[in-house]
Structure 1
Amino acid sequence: MAVREILTRGESALTKVCHPVTKFDQKLWDLIDDMKETLAEAGGVGLAAPQVGILRRVVIVINEADEVLELVNPEIVAQQGEQDGLEGCLSVPGLWGFVKRPEWVKVKAQDRFGREYEAEGTGLTARCFCHELAHLDGHLYTELTDKLYNSEELDELMDQQAEEEQE
């Protein structure tokens, strides 16, 4: 296993549509293992293959139960509700924005051996499914937010919200 470089906004691989995985072999397993190690090193909750320069439909998501989900050829098959929350991205370091996402999402995917399965989640897990699957079609969350906040602006916003809640 190896930690791979995470591409940042402006890299062309982040704007391309990824190809489906058709071979479930050692090369795929190495990619998945490297992505898991890269995600752990970066301290994120999700990572898509194009973020490490590989244009394949592979995603890693850590769900709210702290389980690592390996999603190969994932697709959203159902969603409900709405949540508006703060998002960041390992490919857009130091910036965050508010994005509307479904409250609940169900995905259909394959595991590293090609077996189909479904996974679902609410809250952060649902947000993560949507965020990571968007990467597979060449999209970043920055397309869905009205404003990007740097860490200083975000701290100010959080302080302001805390003050309002105390009043």
Structure 2
Amino acid sequence: MFEILKPKIYVDSIYNLDLKKLKKLKNIKSIIVDLDNTLIAWGNNEIDNKVINWIKEAKKLELKICIVSNSNSNRVEKIAKILNLPYYSKFFKPLGITFINALKIMKANYLDTVVIGDQIFTDIWGGNRLKLFTILVTPIIKRDSMGTSFQRSLEKIILFFWLKRDEIKKEIGNWPK
């Protein structure tokens, strides 16, 4: 049911991803990552040291990272500069052009890129449309913009049925094992 919306992997947070194993197991070289409720709490401008360390670890493993967000471009730019990451913020997720531009920015390949985000209807759908490897994370906080709040209601229903039918499972602990 709704295969185009289904993530390949579902975890609690970016911190549950073993980047070293992910790189080796899936031959990942690039990461397209959402900002709000994936890297930092929605509406927040403060960056947790854990996020900084996660980015440092990815860079140490020579993984390219690009933030792709539908959030305010000025805000995304400020955060991206602090994290020393490229970004793309044009309010077009889940359209393919958004992900294609992120791939171009990183000079990345479809086959070795992962999309990480907290929303099924933007991050996962957009990544799946381009056949990228997709990872859904639980939102950092429950608060969202009004538009996203409506989508969350639908996402909860879809997730409930997927989990109930064992169509996906939420990975416990670190992934990959």
Q: Higher RCO, 1 or 2 (CA under 8 Å, sep at least 6)?
A: 2
Taking structure 1 as the reference length, what is the TM-score of the superposition? 0.28
State the structure with more CA Rg: 1
